[in-house]
Amino acid sequence: MSYQKSILMASTNMAAFRSRLPAAARSTRFVPLLCNRFYSNTSPKTIASLFTVRRTAPLTSPFTVSSRRGYVNGKDEELPEGLRYTEEHEWLALEDGNLAVVGITAYASKALGDVVYVELPSVGTSIVAGEPIGAVESVKSASDIYSPVSGEIIEVNEQLDKKPGLVNAEPYRKGWICKILMKDTTELESMMDNKGYETFIASS
């Protein structure tokens, strides 16, 4: 119990905390997973994850999809790195330069409840940022999804037809909704990153 308490106390002082890390970890970028929002209790499992450091290699593009898979603890409860977010709670990850993968965040899927049906857009539709590209229906409520970027929809996640629950279970991995071939990558700059999205959720 005291061990856990000391970790929490240390975490309030980032510098002191980092000095206790092994030398290699001190220099790499470290995303603190200290949001109480995500860790409601201090079980050993969650404490252990505080010490796992994500080493992000120098990137050519601001975000890559490989980091999407490098989760700390398999549960999709904290925000993975390298994604961008909209105010409508959609996330976007970049694959191969121009291909954007879009889905809804864990916050949104939790708010909706058990998803029973996902209305997918048709492959080949060309869309403008902000246009609806389908809807997610949970028990009783149908919620529209909006495209974060402009481009053409080149693939939709057919698995969601049979297993709409993937949106709840793995909103960032298997629960992706569609892939858009982007026309203009500058649209990404106006989207929120992890920190921005966390602040956005906290203030709403």
Partner 1 sequence: MLSLDTRRELALALTAILKRSNIATAAQSLSSSFHRHFSCSRNWRQKKIFDLQVYVSRSRSPYWNLSYEDYLFKKFPVYTSYSSSSTQVPKKILFLYTNHRSVIIGRNQNPWRETNVEFLRRHNVPLIRRRSGGGTVFHDDGNVNYSVMMPGNMFDRDEHAQLLCTALNPVFNQRGEETSLSVNERHDIVDQNGRKVSGSAYKLQRGKAYHHGTMLLNSRLDLLSNLLHHSVDGGLEVVEGPGVPSIRSAVSNIGISNETFTDAVILAFKREYTAGSENAVKVMYVDEGSMTKEEAPEINKSIEELQSWEWTFGSTPKFVHRFLLQDSTPAVSFTVKEGTILDLESDLPEFTAIKDRIIGTPYRGPEVASIINSKLWKERLIRSI
Binding site for partner 1 (CB under 8 A): 87-88, 116-117, 119, 135, 137-144, 146, 161-162, 164, 200, 203-204
Collapsed DSSP state (helix, strand, coil) of residue 188? helix
Closest CA to 88 of 35, 134, 147, 38: 147
Q: How far is the CB of 77 from partner 1 (least distance, A)?
A: 22
Collapsed DSSP state (helix, strand, coil) of residue 163? coil
Q: How far is the CB of 102 from partner 1 (least distance, A)?
A: 15
Neighbouring CB atoms inside 10 A of 30's CB total 18
DSSP H helices in 153-193: 159-162, 166-169
Please, which residue, 144 or 155, has the CB nearer to partner 1? Answer: 144
Q: How far is the CB of 71 from partner 1 (least distance, A)?
A: 28
Please, which residue, 99 or 201, has the CB nearer to partner 1? Answer: 201
Please, which residue, 11 or 88, has the CB nearer to partner 1? Answer: 88
Q: How far is the CB of 87 from partner 1 (least distance, A)?
A: 6
Please, which residue, 57 or 139, has the CB nearer to partner 1? Answer: 139
Q: How far is the CB of 81 from partner 1 (least distance, A)?
A: 24
Rounded to whole angstroms, the Cα distance separating 204 from 199 reads: 9
The answer to whether 137 and 116 are in contact (CB under 8 A) is yes
Please, which residue, 24 or 202, has the CB nearer to partner 1? Answer: 202
Rounded to whole angstroms, the Cα distance separating 195 from 56 reads: 17
